A = this chain, B = another copy of it.
Amino acid sequence: MADASTPPPKMTVAELEAFLEQEFPQVFGAGKLYHVEDVAHRFARMRCRYDPGQLRPGGTISGPTMMTLADTGLYVAILASIGPVGLAVTTNLNVNFLKKPAPRDLIAECRLVKLGKRLAVGEVAIWSDGEGEELVAHATGTYSIPPER
């Protein structure tokens, strides 16, 4: 995908983490579990560190933890593609929960399948780090991009 025609990302991982820490301190603030690992044009890879506090009965990581990871990951992919100009708003998030996550870090790869002027749409694959290729969740999200950018 990173061929000559792909533009570079408009924000680095460090710039994104600084931006997110300021804008979403509850998710990305001090002691945060959610991290940006890599970005490219229309792409972000996120990590959610394992923390026993997220656990549901039976030892599984909660659905909201995975939904937050998918939603913030697509938001990061949009920021990486268009820069911090105008905040995109989530209009739809659809999550399929595929198997019980292991008590491990979660990795999410987020790709935009559309990046228009008014709408961006992306998909997210989430798996347990070190547990093989089977996904624990798959999501799609739609974001409304403010017209004034």
Contacts and interface: CB of A to CB of B under 8 A. Distances in A.
Interface string A119-146: 1010101000000001100101010100
Contacts of A24: 56-57
B113 A96 contact: yes
B144 A123 contact: no
B97 A95 contact: no
A50 B1 CA distance: 28
Given A91-B119, A92-B95, A123-B123, A63 B57 contact: no
A67 interface: yes
Interface string A38-55: 000000000000000100
A114 B98 contact: yes
A80 B86 CA distance: 33
Interface in A71-94: 71, 87, 89-94
Contact of A93 (B68, B95, B121): B95
Interface centre among A63, A68, A125, A144 (most CB of B within 10 A): A63
A118 B71 CA distance: 22
Q: List the 7 closest pairs (A to B, CB-CB), nearest first.
A: A94-B94, A98-B114, A64-B64, A113-B138, A64-B68, A113-B135, A67-B67
